[in-house]
Structures are given as C-alpha cells and as structure tokens.
C-alpha cells in the first residue's frame, strides 16, 4: 500500500464507499489521518462500519474542519449538476480530490519513483497492460493500477527507488487531481491516445471532456515525456500546444506512425508486429507504438521490447481470441470485444478482419453508430440484440445486412448458422463488439464477454 504519511494529522471526509473509497480511507487511516466516511447508499455505509471505519452522515458535518474531501470518481463533480457533497465542499473552498491525487502527491514529494499516466477515450486498458508487461519483462520494477482491474492506485506497493507506477486514468479521475495544475506535480510520462465523444453527460461538451484529458500535460517539464495521438482534432491540437511526441495510425505525418503492422519513424521501421499474435490490427499497433516510446524512455533494448510484445497475452474482453472452429471452407474465429462499449471503440475490430459477422447491441450511448457507417459497409452481416437493437437496425438500413434478436445468444447462434451455409473460402470471424453499454441485460461488460465465451465453447470453438 502507498504510504501517505505526509497527510498524518489531517482530517478528511471520504464520500463514495466503493473499492477506491474504502482503499483510500484505509491508506489515510494507516498514515495517521482522521477520516470520516459516508455514502448515500445505506448498505455501503454498513459495510464500512463492519470493516471498522468511522462512518458519519456528512450532511451534518462542518466542512470547514476538514483538510480535504476525497470523492469517488463516479460522483458528479460538475455535470449534469454537482452532487450535494460537492456543493457543500465548494461553499467553504475545501479541496476536492480523488485517490490518484493522493498517489501523485506522495510520489512527487518522495521523488524516488516515476508515474506513467495514460488516458484517452479508447484503448487505455490494453495500452497500460502492454506497457506494464514490457517493462516487467525488461526487468524494471513496474506496477499497474488505476481505472483497470481491481487494484486501486493506493493498493500498489510502497514507494521505493526506481519504482514505476503505470496508471490508467479516466476523465473522472483526472477531474479529481488538482495538483496537475502545480509545478513539479506532472506525471513523468503522460499519454493521450485519442479523444472521441463519450461521457458527455458528465462533462457537458466534448470540448470540456477533451480539456480535462489534456490536464496531464499542463505542468510537464523538459525531462518528462508527452505522447499524444494526432488522428483526431483534439489530439492534433494538443500535440502542437504541448510540444508532445506525436503518434498516428493513419498517416506518416507524425513522430512515430503505424503502417501495415509495423511501427516506423522517418521512413524507418522500428518494430515489426507480425510475430505478435495478440497485437494485430491498427489499434494494437498504436498501443505498441506508445509502449515502444515509453520503453525507449527507460532505455530498454529493441530486442527486449520485441520479445516482450511477441509474448503479450492480450487483454480479456478486448479483441480477445476466444476460440476457433475449423470448417471445409476455412476457419471460424470467435472474437470477444465486449469492452467496446461505444462506436469509436468498435472501429479497430472492424478493421482487423475481412469476413466479419458482427454481434452488437445493449444500451445505446450518445451518437449511436454514426462513426461506424462507412466501416460497416464491408461486414457480411450484423446481428443486433438488446435494448438498442431496433434503433441500430434503423441506422443500418441501406448500409449493411442485419437481423434483430432479443438475446445475445440468439445472435451468436444465427451468425454461426449463416457462416455454415456460406461456401465462400477464407477466415470468417464472429465478432462481439457491442458499440453499447451492457446494463440492459448484463451487470457489466465483463459478464457480457464471459457469456459470449461460454457460447463459443458450447458451439464447438476450441482454444487457439
């Protein structure tokens, strides 16, 4: 656990008692801080009491007596309107922070470790997982946390010399990092992969959303590394403004670019990904290019980088190779891309294969399928399910063949049936890449992906 002794003797209110809230409370208590916890959910409060924390309704507390409010990233800070606890803190100019802010302060004041901060609308989880994997394979003391998996940032190991913290950051978390505005508190390496419409309900406009993402670069110095994808208008603008290393997956007008499964710079190939089975597709080449630049920053040899990338197992629910069925007309792959919960996130998967039978649906997000209409012209057929199936169908009229179902299982079964009646040679792919949230039928995207994998196995897909 991260040592937060610099906050010893201070008083904090912690609101939002999920995994990160409880982890933060414990870390502060262990450091000698006085912590009061609360949540609008009675069950969460009782759970905190059972764990031995001091729980008290913050409605009746005098916020001027606190040194800071630790807010769960899921609690509205500004949009659609500030939560009551935010208004109460603002009324007395109380600092509002998140757990990543505490990590940032601890690391930057200690000065022995480094922080790699990665944000973007899509691709964050695969990128940080690949960075962590390559650095570990190179023998570096790297640790992964943040908006990925179950390891919160304060549950990572204590600060020691040359330790590297690789942190995935959502816009919600960056919103709760006020020290990013202070000199000397920028991440050592900051990465913005891309920006597309998402979480607009939380930030008001895409411009506000993009601006929040860019805050990780504001105070970076000459010895820090900034990497920004320039394939969208916001990234292109930020890269120039912050004088960052630019990255492109669609053209050569960047410091480093991806082309035909290769990473290149100045017309020279730096890395060939043809032997990396879990890094195929343009999006993975982009993830690999980011990782390559970071590994170079830490002086990792190219041969070590290539070997580590070839051995990368990929990320569950993100372009995950589930299994294969062999037929007389070619192999049938099942690809689990359940983490693709918006249209922009689906694009990489659609560009990675030729004969795609696309399984999509769930609870629609703002913007629908508009960014996908051109790529979807090339798919064999769409199999739409869930709450947004009819809406998606309306958007696909005249674009692609489609069929509407109630359940995902029905969609997958019909996709395989259609393939078995298709005598066209070549590799065929049943792709779950929903372009929608899971909450209409599943608890989360992980549960949706697990059901897809179970269906694939039941239908005869064998591990690859």
CB-count exposure of residue 223 (10 Å: 0-12, 13-18, 19+):
exposed
For 309-323, what is the mean pLDDT? Answer: 87
For 287-312, what is the mean pLDDT? Answer: 94
Residue 297 pLDDT greater than 90, yes or no: yes
Tell me the C-alpha distance between 414 and 401, whole Å: 13
For the chain, the domain total comes to: 3
- The pLDDT of residue 332 is 95
Residue 448 pLDDT greater than 80, yes or no: yes
Tell me which residue of 300, 312, 249, 324 sits closest to 276, measured CA to CA: 312
Lowest mean pLDDT among 89-98, 187-196, 259-268, 386-395: 259-268
The reply to whether 145 and 251 lie within a common domain is yes
Tell me the C-alpha distance between 378 and 46, whole Å: 53
Lowest mean pLDDT among 45-49, 177-181, 196-200, 430-434: 196-200
Residue 366 pLDDT greater than 80, yes or no: no
Q: Across all residues in the chain, what is the average pLDDT?
A: 93
- Give percent of the chain with pLDDT exceeding 90: 76
Q: 67, 97, 127: which is the final residue of a domain?
A: 97
Tell me which residue of 245, 225, 229 sits closest to 121, measured CA to CA: 229
Residue 279 pLDDT greater than 90, yes or no: no
Residue 453 pLDDT greater than 90, yes or no: yes
Query: Virtual CA dihedral for 51, 56, 58, 59, nearest 10 degrees?
Result: 140
- The pLDDT of residue 181 is 96
- The pLDDT of residue 198 is 65
Residue 200 pLDDT greater than 80, yes or no: no
Query: What residues pair up with 125 in beta bridges, in sequence order?
Result: none
Tell me the C-alpha distance between 122 and 196, whole Å: 8
Range of the domain at 350: 320-458
- The pLDDT of residue 283 is 77
The reply to whether 144 and 154 lie within a common domain is yes
Q: Which residue has the higher pLDDT, 204 or 53?
A: 53
Residue 293 pLDDT greater than 90, yes or no: yes
Question: What CATH number is associated with residue 272?
Answer: 3.40.1190.10
pLDDT band at residue 202 using 50, 70 and 90 as cut-offs: confident
**In-domain check, residue 238:** yes
* DSSP assigned state of 178: G
pLDDT band at residue 278 using 50, 70 and 90 as cut-offs: confident
Residue 156 pLDDT greater than 80, yes or no: yes
Residue 150 pLDDT greater than 70, yes or no: no
pLDDT band at residue 327 using 50, 70 and 90 as cut-offs: confident
Q: Please, where are the H alpha helices in 242-342?
A: 282-297, 302-310
Check: pTM over 0.95? Answer yes or no: no
The reply to whether 89 and 222 lie within a common domain is no
Sign of the CA dihedral running 98, 100, 103, 108: negative
**In-domain check, residue 464:** no
Q: 71, 97, 123: which is the final residue of a domain?
A: 97
Question: What CATH number is associated with residue 410?
Answer: 3.90.190.20
**In-domain check, residue 449:** yes
The residues near 126 (Cβ < 8 Å, ≥ 6 apart) are: 283, 284, 287, 314, 315, 318, 319
The reply to whether 108 and 195 lie within a common domain is yes
Q: Which residue has the higher pLDDT, 287 or 148?
A: 287
- The pLDDT of residue 199 is 65
The reply to whether 254 and 174 lie within a common domain is yes
Residue 142 pLDDT greater than 70, yes or no: yes
- The pLDDT of residue 361 is 96
The reply to whether 86 and 112 lie within a common domain is no
The reply to whether 83 and 103 lie within a common domain is no
> Which tens digits make up the pLDDT trace of 213-271?
999 999 999 999 999 999 999 999 999 999 999 999 888 899 999 888 889 998 899 98
| DSSP 3-state of 295 | helix
Question: What CATH number is associated with residue 35?
Answer: 3.40.50.720
Residue 389 pLDDT greater than 90, yes or no: yes
> Which tens digits make up the pLDDT trace of 164-174?
999 999 999 99
The reply to whether 273 and 208 lie within a common domain is yes
**In-domain check, residue 108:** yes
pLDDT band at residue 425 using 50, 70 and 90 as cut-offs: confident
Q: Please, where are the H alpha helices in 382-444?
A: 389-396, 408-420
The reply to whether 130 and 49 lie within a common domain is no
For 389-400, what is the mean pLDDT? Answer: 95
For 402-420, what is the mean pLDDT? Answer: 96
Q: Which of 55-69, 316-330, 417-431 has the highest mean pLDDT?
A: 55-69
**In-domain check, residue 315:** no
> Which tens digits make up the pLDDT trace of 35-75?
999 999 999 999 999 999 999 999 999 999 999 999 998 89
The residues near 182 (Cβ < 8 Å, ≥ 6 apart) are: 219
The CA distances from residue 130 to 288, 314, 350, in Å, are: 7, 8, 21
For 440-450, what is the mean pLDDT? Answer: 93
For 8-36, what is the mean pLDDT? Answer: 96
Q: 63, 80, 97: which is the final residue of a domain?
A: 97
The reply to whether 268 and 223 lie within a common domain is yes
- The pLDDT of residue 177 is 97
């Amino acid at each position: 656990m991260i040592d937060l002794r610099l906050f010893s003797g201070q008083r904090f209110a912690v609101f939002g008692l999920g995994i990160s809230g409880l982890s933060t409370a414990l870390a502060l208590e262990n450091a000698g801080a006085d912590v009061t916890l609360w949540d609008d959910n009675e069950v969460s409060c009782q759970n905190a009491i059972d764990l031995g924390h001091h729980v008290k309704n913050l409605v009746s507390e005098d916020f001027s007596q606190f040194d800071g409010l630790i807010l769960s990233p899921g609690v509205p800070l500004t949009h659609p309107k500030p939560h009551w606890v935010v208004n109460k803190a603002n009324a007395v100019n109380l600092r509002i922070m998140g757990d990543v802010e505490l990590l940032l302060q601890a690391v930057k004041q200690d000065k022995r470790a480094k922080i790699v901060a990665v944000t973007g609308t899509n691709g964050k989880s695969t990128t940080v997982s690949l960075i962590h994997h390559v650095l570990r394979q190179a023998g570096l003391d790297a640790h992964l946390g943040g908006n990925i998996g179950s390891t919160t940032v304060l549950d990572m190991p204590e600060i020691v010399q040359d330790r590297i913290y690789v942190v995935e950051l959502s816009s919600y978390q960056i919103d709760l990092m006020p020290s990013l505005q202070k000199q000397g508190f920028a991440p050592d390496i900051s990465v913005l992969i891309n920006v597309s419409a998402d979480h607009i309900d939380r930030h008001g406009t895409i411009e506000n959303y993009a601006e929040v993402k860019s805050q990780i670069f504001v105070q970076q110095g000459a010895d820090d590394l900034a990497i920004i994808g320039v394939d969208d208008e916001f990234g292109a603008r930020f890269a120039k403004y912050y004088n960052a290393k630019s990255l492109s997956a669609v053209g050569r007008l960047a410091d480093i670019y991806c082309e035909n499964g290769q990473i290149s710079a100045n017309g020279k190939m730096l890395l060939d990904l043809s032997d990396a089975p879990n890094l195929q597709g343009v999006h993975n080449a982009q993830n690999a290019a980011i990782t390559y630049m970071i590994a170079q920053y830490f002086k990792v040899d190219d041969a070590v980088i290539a070997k580590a990338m070839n051995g990368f197992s990929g990320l569950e629910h993100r372009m995950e190779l589930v299994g294969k069925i062999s037929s007389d007309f070619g192999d049938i792959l099942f690809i689990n891309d359940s983490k693709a919960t918006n249209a922009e996130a689906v694009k990489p998967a659609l560009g990675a294969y030729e004969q795609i039978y696309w399984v999509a649906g769930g609870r629609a997000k703002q913007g629908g399928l508009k960014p996908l209409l051109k790529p979807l012209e090339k798919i064999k057929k769409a199999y739409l399910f869930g709450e947004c199936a009819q809406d998606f169908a309306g958007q696909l009229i005249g674009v692609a063949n489609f069929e509407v179902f109630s359940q995902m299982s029905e969609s997958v079964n019909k996709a395989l049936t259609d393939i078995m009646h298709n005598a066209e040679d070549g590799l065929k792919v049943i792709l779950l890449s929903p372009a929608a949230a899971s909450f209409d039928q599943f608890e989360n995207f992980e549960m949706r992906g697990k059901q897809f994998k179970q269906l694939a196995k039941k239908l005869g897909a064998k591990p690859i």
